[in-house]
Amino acid sequence: MLRTTLAGLRAHKLRLLLTATAIMIGVGFLAGTLVYGDTAKAAFYDDLARAAKHVDASVGSSGFSESGQRFETGIVEEVKAVPGVAHADGRMAERLPMLDRNGRLISYLGRIGWALSTPGDEHLSMYDVGTGRQPQRPGEIAVDDTTAEIYGFKVGEQVSVVGLDQKPVALTLVGIMDLGANKRFAGFTVAALTPADMRTLTGADGYAQVVVSAQPGVSQAELAGRLESALGGRAWVMTGAQMRAEYAVAAAKYVDGFLIVIFGFGLIALAVSVFVIYNTFAILVAQRIRELALLRCVGASRRQLFGSVILEAVVVGVVASLGGLLVSTVVGEGLLIGRNTVGSGVRVDRLIVTPTTVLVGVFAGTLFTVIASLLPAATASRIPPIAALRTTALAEVAPGRRLLRIVLAGVPAAGGALLMLAGTRVPGFSGVPIVFLGAIFVFTGIVIAAPLIVSRLTAWAGWVPAKVFGAAGRLAVTNALRNPKRVAATTSALMVGLALMSVFSVLLATARAQAEQELDENFAVDYIISGVYTPNGQSRKVPLAVTTTLRSHRELAAVAASRSREGDVGGRFTQIWTMEPGALDTVLRPEITAGSAGALKPGTVALNRFFADEIGARVGSSVQVRTLTLTVAALYDDAPTDGQALLDWSDYATVFGAGDPDQVLVKAAEGVAPVDSRAAVDAALKEAPLTQVSSQAEWRARITGTLDEQLGVFSALLGMSIVIGLTGIANTLALSVLERTRESALLRALGLSRGQLRGMLVLEAMLMAFVGAVVGVGFGVLVGVAASVGLIRQFGHGHPVVPYGQLLLYVVIAAAAGAVAALLPARRAARTEVAAVMVDD
């Protein structure tokens, strides 16, 4: 039986190739994510090691913070005196505001950038200088390469920073430095200054960290122990290896998070492959009924036949999984190219394949192949010897079992539908997992009922081709209807991929529409001007004089100062805010859902409607706001700020005291181009450099851009499952061509031309792909709408958005791809010689 099985594999190379293709794609995608992860992690370790280059021990934290421990400058000499120390250097790190070419503050997430001291010992420098040189005297500066690229800074030019007196200071740019992928500074400007400028401009009063390299023969652990003893517990000491690991872990969290997502997609692709593999083995068993029955006639037992199919699955699984590892390098390379293209912090130029990846890929591919072959193997073991005298196709859906199949499909589908309905009634994200869980049960029911569903849909979908394409069209429909179990198993793979893509398409389209609606209707502000955060974590105020300057520009229609602070409202600690008098009469007012904005005056308060529900307040209720008892004059839904309680300007001053605004809200005049209104805002803020501007247009572009990015990522990853599903259709057709060789020859003998035969097989493939796409997209829309309902109920208003054009494109692409997948099998069938095939075996 072993020799017979291996001989059969050698004799049927095409069958082996078709079966292996589905496994290779699934394993390749799964292993590709692992290859990508290993490569990205290694690159992070290599690049992040730059900050700990030549470091064998570190005194103080490996990271920098505004409130972290600072060491007196004399500690460096004290460390150098410790036995085994070869080099020692102190590192200063403090916050420093940097300005762009227009004199505007450069900030990230509302925070200013960093300043680092130049190394006293180049051997222990935490950065490399790519262009120019290190600052050597006061008045010189080096900046990180990312900042230089974004803002166009060139060596030899002037770069302005803001000193302790909050006045701009111009420095000469002498170098561009490369910090590597240091996550501590990601997104921030980083400047290198001489120690003298560090003290003058940032007020640095000591070192944030002291790094040490060991003499030959002294281990890192030994050196760290000596430093701890010498410093007497005054500072935390870590080894260089621990420091590198801390940097790498901080950076690798991003990679691990991304890996979790794409590994999940890899498993989805592999699960879809199981459908195809199972279907392939089922067809192979059907084609080999006479062969297997003859083996029974010559003495093979049922156990031997079962073992023969399993052995074939193991051989194919191992070989295809090894091929999948080669495919994984292509997938990994594609992910890396995409990652580098979108501008990641670390560029990666080489792939790393670890033994773990190899073992996981081969084991997973082989295991799933064997699992997929169990049922066909059991079918093979039950073939009676008498079957050697006849050819039997795969069993149809027996009429007596239709009711049983309907019941088996209806139970999980009904339970899943109830779960999905319950999930829509749970507001917010909490209901989404319930909806998805219910969707799994519903889809299980669809898969069980697929042979019945596919037959009906195929008949409907085939009505037009049968009328338009004549005999070839009618034959294509008949062939697709002949074996609904096989077609259902094949199209199920395509259903999974398109259902997932449709779910995410509906969710993202709904989220995009909600975001734009909220911005357009409830956030009628073109620009928000706010202060930046100071090193102690407090937000700077916007000078009140800025509002006067802004109002002098005719490009701006409405300007309103706003203040906000946390405080107790009705027994809850929340955000309290106010706008200057007259602002509620403009388009800057919040969306009022109950009461009146005009009723807000001293002695009253307006509450966010959700917050009002939490504290049991309504219009006319009395609410305690810190020291004041106020009457609720209005409820609102959305507002220009995140505040939950809106006070009159004078009441706010009574509670918190007078002061400058935290934000200034600006609305551009009608018909003024965004570039002109932004120029007016920038011109008004030249005298207030420690402010930042965000615009509605920028936020809208950021939100929609992020959603589009997410859709692109999900579409690319889930597209793999569609590719696998189409591979299954190609497998089915190719094996079907082999199975129906004599039938095709008979059709040719009866007058069907080569072109008509090719057209028949292509139409058959298109019908299968079209039906699978329609069911998958329809189910995905149902789940996506259900998941969107709870989110809209909690976070917005309106209705789910179904991107009909995008979904229609999915169906068209699936049908077209099905036709492409059928070209080679159809060509093979059309080239078959009629006379040779019609001869009896």
pLDDT of residue 186: 67
Class of residue 338 by CB neighbours under 10 A (exposed 0-12, middle 13-18, buried 19+): middle
Q: Among 88-102, 277-291, 318-332, 365-379, whose mean pLDDT is lowest?
A: 277-291
pLDDT of residue 510: 80
Percent of the chain with pLDDT over 90: 17
pLDDT of residue 268: 55
pLDDT of residue 151: 87
* Phi, psi dihedrals of residue 99, rounded to the nearest 5°: -110, 150
Smallest CA-to-CA distance from 217 within 56, 77, 359 is with 56
pLDDT tens readout for residues 131-141: 999 999 999 99
Most confident of 233-237, 324-328, 556-560: 556-560
The overall longest dimension of the chain from CA atoms, in Å, is 103
Tell me, rounded to whole angstroms, the distance of Cα 811 from its chain centroid.
24
pTM greater than 0.75 (yes/no)? no
Q: Reduce the DSSP state of residue 174 to 3 states and report it.
A: strand
Higher pLDDT, 259 or 445: 445
Q: Reduce the DSSP state of residue 592 to 3 states and report it.
A: strand
Task: Return the exposure string of 770-798: e unless at least 16 CB atoms fall within 10 Å of the residue's CB, then b.
Answer: bbbbbbbbbbbbbbbbbbbbbbbeeebee
Rg (CA), the chain: 35
Pairwise CA distance, residues 640 & 212, whole Å: 51
- Does the pLDDT of residue 255 top 60, yes or no? no
Higher pLDDT, 313 or 85: 85
Chain position carrying tokens 């100071």: 534
Higher pLDDT, 102 or 282: 102
How many C-beta neighbours within 10 Å does residue 444 have? Answer: 17
Most confident of 90-104, 268-282, 823-837: 90-104
- Overall average pLDDT of the 631-653 stretch: 88
pLDDT of residue 200: 93
Q: Among 55-64, 68-77, 603-612, whose mean pLDDT is lowest?
A: 55-64
pLDDT of residue 419: 84
- Does the pLDDT of residue 352 top 80, yes or no? no
- Overall average pLDDT of the 106-117 stretch: 81
pLDDT of residue 220: 92
- Does the pLDDT of residue 122 top 60, yes or no? yes
pLDDT tens readout for residues 370-384: 887 787 778 777 777
- Overall average pLDDT of the 222-239 stretch: 88
Structure tokens at 206: 């000591």
- Overall average pLDDT of the 291-303 stretch: 78
Higher pLDDT, 58 or 345: 58
pLDDT of residue 4: 72
Chain position carrying tokens 């470091």: 55
- Overall average pLDDT of the 531-535 stretch: 65
pLDDT of residue 116: 93
pLDDT class for 221, splitting at 50, 70, 90? very high
- Does the pLDDT of residue 162 top 60, yes or no? yes
Chain position carrying tokens 């995409």: 338
- Does the pLDDT of residue 395 top 50, yes or no? no
Smallest CA-to-CA distance from 476 within 733, 827, 735 is with 733
pLDDT of residue 343: 46
Chain position carrying tokens 């199981």: 274
Pairwise CA distance, residues 238 & 211, whole Å: 10
- Overall average pLDDT of the 266-285 stretch: 61
- Does the pLDDT of residue 7 top 60, yes or no? yes
- Does the pLDDT of residue 752 top 60, yes or no? yes
Residues facing residue 173 across a β-bridge: 141
Percent of the chain with pLDDT over 70: 72
Alpha helices in 603-740 (DSSP H): 609-615, 649-656, 674-684, 696-739
Find out whether 207 and 91 touch, Cβ atoms under 8 Å. yes
Q: Which helix (H) or strand (E) holds 740?
A: none
Higher pLDDT, 331 or 169: 169
How many C-beta neighbours within 10 Å does residue 361 have? Answer: 25
Find out whether 541 and 531 touch, Cβ atoms under 8 Å. yes
Angle at 179 between CA 173 and CA 182, to 5 degrees: 140
- Does the pLDDT of residue 175 top 90, yes or no? yes
pLDDT of residue 257: 45
In the chain, the N- to C-terminal Cα span, in Å, equals 23
* Sequence-distant contacts of 374-378: CB under 8 A, at least 24 apart: 374/310, 375/278, 375/282, 376/278, 376/281, 376/282, 376/284, 376/285, 376/309, 377/281, 377/285, 377/305, 377/306, 377/309, 377/310, 377/313, 378/306
The secondary structure of residue 119, as a DSSP letter, is P
Q: Which residues contact 799 (CB under 8 A, 6 or more apart)?
A: 792
Pairwise CA distance, residues 82 & 529, whole Å: 52
Alpha-carbon torsion 502, 504, 507, 511, what sign?
negative
- Does the pLDDT of residue 441 top 70, yes or no? yes
Find out whether 209 and 60 touch, Cβ atoms under 8 Å. yes
- Mean pLDDT, all residues of the chain: 77
Class of residue 620 by CB neighbours under 10 A (exposed 0-12, middle 13-18, buried 19+): exposed
pLDDT tens readout for residues 559-596: 988 998 889 998 888 999 999 888 888 777 888 888 98
How many C-beta neighbours within 10 Å does residue 184 have? Answer: 18
- Does the pLDDT of residue 512 top 90, yes or no? no
Q: Reduce the DSSP state of residue 637 to 3 states and report it.
A: coil
pLDDT tens readout for residues 321-338: 888 888 777 766 765 666
How many C-beta neighbours within 10 Å does residue 420 have? Answer: 24
The secondary structure of residue 520, as a DSSP letter, is I
Higher pLDDT, 267 or 527: 527
Pairwise CA distance, residues 395 & 691, whole Å: 74
Structure tokens at 590: 């919040």
Q: Which residues contact 662 (CB under 8 A, 6 or more apart)?
A: 530, 531, 539, 541, 542, 562, 563, 564, 565
Q: Among 28-37, 146-155, 819-828, whose mean pLDDT is lowest?
A: 28-37
Q: Among 44-48, 169-173, 205-209, 450-454, whose mean pLDDT is lowest?
A: 44-48
Smallest CA-to-CA distance from 88 within 279, 276, 231, 286 is with 231
Most confident of 109-123, 192-206, 541-555, 782-796: 192-206
The secondary structure of residue 633, as a DSSP letter, is E
- Does the pLDDT of residue 394 top 50, yes or no? no
Higher pLDDT, 344 or 615: 615
pLDDT of residue 174: 96
- Identify residue 382 by its one-letter amino acid code: R
Pairwise CA distance, residues 389 & 181, whole Å: 70
Pairwise CA distance, residues 116 & 93, whole Å: 5
pLDDT tens readout for residues 669-694: 877 887 888 889 888 888 787 787 87
- Does the pLDDT of residue 114 top 80, yes or no? yes
pLDDT of residue 345: 47
